[in-house]
């Protein structure tokens, strides 16, 4: 079974996963400051396995075309798993949930709050729960980048509006739009 990946999902993921590790037009493995120890990514959030690192699968880097092919391979199985976890949803809810799920599958599983609230039909509670997943690193702390991503996903889940935030002004717009949609949040500081 293949699932069509919504364009808005791709837009959100591409905006927040970014393309780190670029050197001379090729993309190499990268360890971000908020990433757990020993976790490296390449391209648009592909987590390298121990075997991929040991065998040097990506030692020569990837072209942008290869990055996009890897992204397509990575997102399809996630879309299938999410499809099974939240069978009752609109296309918009699925698109927003998939952008989130690509980064954090646990939140949509049996014990994760956005997934639990969604399955219970509590849409605003599900969207508000997106904003609980903004912590990373050791010790765990709130990350502005994760807040921006979760706020964008929550807004899209509720309203269908995609607002990518990269600045303080955008952050304020996200807070305002979410407030109008019934979800209270604050920019982490």
Contacts of residue 107, Cβ cutoff 8 Å, sequence gap at least 6? 100, 101, 113, 114, 115, 129, 130, 133
Instruction: Convert the pLDDT of each residue in 86-138 to its tens digit.
Output: 989 999 999 999 999 999 999 999 999 999 999 999 999 999 999 999 998 77
Instruction: Convert the pLDDT of each residue in 149-183 to its tens digit.
Output: 999 999 999 999 999 999 999 999 999 999 999 99
Helix ranges (DSSP H) in the chain: 7-17, 50-54, 64-85, 91-103, 113-119, 123-130, 144-159, 168-180
In CATH, the number for domain 7-180 is 1.10.530.40
Give the pLDDT score at 36: 80
The verdict on whether omega for the bond into residue 112 sits within 30 degrees of 0, i.e. cis, is: no
pTM over 0.85: yes
Main-chain phi, psi angles of 32, to 5 degrees: -80, 160
CA dihedral in degrees (110, 111, 115, 119; nearest 10)? Answer: 60
The pLDDT of 134-145, averaged and rounded, is: 89
Q: Is the pLDDT of residue 39 over 90?
A: no
Band (32; pLDDT cuts 50, 70, 90):
confident
| Alpha carbons 6 and 99: distance in angstroms, whole number | 10
For 139, the token pair is 């010790």
| Alpha carbons 99 and 4: distance in angstroms, whole number | 13
Task: Please answer whether residues 53 and 29 qualify as being in contact, where contact means their C-beta atoms are separated by less than 8 angstroms.
Answer: yes
User: Of all residues in the chain, what percent carry a pLDDT higher than 90?
Assistant: 82
DSSP state of 21: S
Whole-number mean pLDDT of the chain? Answer: 94
């Amino acid at each position: 079974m293949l699932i069509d990946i919504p364009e808005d999902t791709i837009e959100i993921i591409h905006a927040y996963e970014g393309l780190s590790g670029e050197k001379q037009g090729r993309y190499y493995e990268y360890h971000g400051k908020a990433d757990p120890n020993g976790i490296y990514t390449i391209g648009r959030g592909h987590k390298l396995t121990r075997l991929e690192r040991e065998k040097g699968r990506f030692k020569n880097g990837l072209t942008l075309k290869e990055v996009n092919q890897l992204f397509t391979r990575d997102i399809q199985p996630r879309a299938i798993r999410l499809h099974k976890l939240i069978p009752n949803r609109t296309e918009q809810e699925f698109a927003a949930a998939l952008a989130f799920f690509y980064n954090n599958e646990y939140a949509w599983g049996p014990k994760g709050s956005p997934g639990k609230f969604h399955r219970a039909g509590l849409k605003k509670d599900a969207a508000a729960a997106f904003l609980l997943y903004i912590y990373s690193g050791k010790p765990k702390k709130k990350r502005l980048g994760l807040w921006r991503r979760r706020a964008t996903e929550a807004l899209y889940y509720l309203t269908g509006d995609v607002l990518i935030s990269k600045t303080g002004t955008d952050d304020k717009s996200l807070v305002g739009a979410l407030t109008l949609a019934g979800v209270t949040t604050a920019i982490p500081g």
